């Protein structure tokens, strides 16, 4: 008969051996300028192993991908400490983990040191107004802010958090050109903040507002912002609850705006009448729009409409190419 104590000891040894093998494998993969652990089923223990490996490294780390894992606050805190060793990092992807406020606050305390960071992805990270305000304050307080792309989609950012972010982006230090705010919790007040920001901003080129409900007033505000803005090149308003009346405001701005090149309005309630108006605007009044995604609306004979629209947009692309040559 097997000794239960020996069985337990053997089982413990096997577990320890498996953990050590996992640690060695993670350490081996923590090499090179780009370290990619996206969707690798990492937990806090794994994050701690990665953090230790990063602290031991003496060479340059440019990109760290840790998205879509199961890292919690303890793991994020360990990684945040390790990042103090690598202020040269340029890209950091942390979205879709299990962070809460304590871990996020610890990470934000590190942000001020990452003066070379250009891309920060924190989508689906349980970021609320408090965390967003702390993040915005950290960006403003940096001696040098190199951040260009900020992904905050799928969070819990309301009007208060959005206000703090707009204040940061209006500062002389912060020059973000790609901002993803899709699927958050701000209201018409927040949309107005964004629209007012667009009227004077000279940095933002790509803006995602998809999966936020934008009513008639919000569309009117965005239209006003677009009429004054020639810097924004890409705007996503997919699944924003747009109907014919609200989309007419966007159409009005397209008759004036000469900067926007790509517009996404997929999964809304735009019907045939407004779709025909869109074709007229693109054909007669807007020479700069080059790409649109408008699927998932209430347009009969969508294939015919899409073919006609794409031919108009293709003509715009070709004429732009000729003028550039």
Burial of 238 (0-12, 13-18, 19+ CB in 10 A): buried
Q: Give the tokens for residue 107.
A: 């990470």
Segment-wise mean pLDDT, segments of 10 residues, the chain, 325 residues? 66 65 86 97 95 94 98 98 97 98 97 98 98 98 97 99 98 98 98 98 99 98 98 99 98 97 99 96 96 97 96 82 47
Q: Across the chain, how many H-helices and E-strands are there? A: 11, 10
Q: Rounded to whole angstroms, how far apart are CA atoms 59 and 160?
A: 40
53-71 as b/e, with b when 16 or more CB fall inside 10 Å?
Answer: bbeebeeebebbbbbbbeb
Q: Residue 134 to residues 84, 148, 193: CA-CA distances in angstroms?
A: 18, 18, 19
Give the separation between CA 283 and CA 248, rounded to whole angstroms: 16
Whole-number Å distance between alpha carbons of 94 and 114? 15
Q: At what angle do helices 244-254 and 216-227 cross, to 10 degrees?
A: 0
Tell me the C-alpha distance between 139 and 256, whole Å.
33
What confidence score (pLDDT) does residue 322 get?
A: 45
Q: What is the pLDDT of residue 15?
A: 58
Longest dimension (CA), the chain: 89
Q: Which domains does the chain have, with CATH numbers?
A: 30-186 (3.80.10.10), 188-325 (3.80.10.10)
- Structure confidence at residue 24 (pLDDT): 82
List of residues 6+ apart from 263 with CB closer than 8 A: 235, 237, 250, 254, 289, 291, 292, 293
Q: Residue 319: what pLDDT?
A: 67
Q: DSSP E strands: which ranges in the chain?
A: 34-36, 63-65, 91-93, 119-121, 149-151, 178-180, 206-208, 234-236, 262-264, 291-293
Tally of CB atoms within 10 A around 301: 10
**130 contact partners, CB below 8 Å, separation of at least 6:** 101, 161
* pLDDT value of position 325: 43
How many CB atoms neighbour CB 322 within 10 A?
8
Token pair 């008639």 in the structure block, residue? 216
pLDDT at site 240: 99
């Amino acid at each position: 008969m097997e000794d239960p104590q020996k069985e337990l000891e053997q089982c413990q040894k096997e577990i320890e051996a498996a953990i050590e093998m996992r640690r060695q494998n993670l350490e081996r993969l923590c090499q090179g300028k780009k370290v990619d652990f996206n969707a690798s089923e990492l937990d806090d223990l794994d994050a701690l192993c990665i953090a230790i490996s990063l602290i031991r490294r003496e060479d340059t780390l440019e990109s760290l991908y840790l998205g879509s894992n199961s890292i919690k606050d303890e793991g994020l805190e360990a990684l945040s400490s390790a990042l103090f060793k690598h202020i040269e990092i340029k890209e950091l992807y942390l979205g879709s983990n299990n962070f809460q406020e304590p871990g996020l606050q610890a990470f934000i305390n590190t942000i001020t040191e990452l003066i070379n960071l250009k891309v920060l992805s924190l989508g689906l990270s349980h970021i609320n107004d408090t965390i967003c305000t702390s993040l915005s304050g950290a960006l403003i307080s940096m001696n040098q802010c190199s951040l260009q792309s900020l992904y905050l989609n799928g969070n819990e950012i309301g009007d208060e958090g959005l206000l703090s972010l707009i204040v940061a982006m209006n500062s002389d230090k912060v020059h973000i050109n790609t901002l993803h705010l899709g699927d958050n919790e701000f209201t018409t007040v927040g949309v107005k903040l964004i629209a007012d920001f667009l009227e004077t901003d000279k940095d933002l080129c790509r803006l995602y507002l998809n999966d936020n409900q934008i009513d008639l007033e919000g569309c009117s505000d965005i239209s006003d912002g677009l009429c004054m803005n020639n810097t924004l090149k890409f705007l996503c308003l997919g699944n924003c609850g747009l109907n014919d009346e609200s989309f007419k405001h966007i159409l009005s701005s397209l008759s004036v705006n000469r900067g926007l090149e790509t517009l996404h309005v997929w999964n809304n309630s735009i019907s045939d009448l407004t779709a025909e108006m869109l074709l007229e605007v693109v054909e007669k009044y807007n020479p700069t729009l080059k790409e649109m995604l408008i699927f998932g609306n209430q347009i009969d004979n969508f294939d015919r409409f899409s073919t006609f629209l794409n031919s108009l947009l293709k003509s715009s692309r070709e004429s732009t190419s000729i003028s550039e040559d």
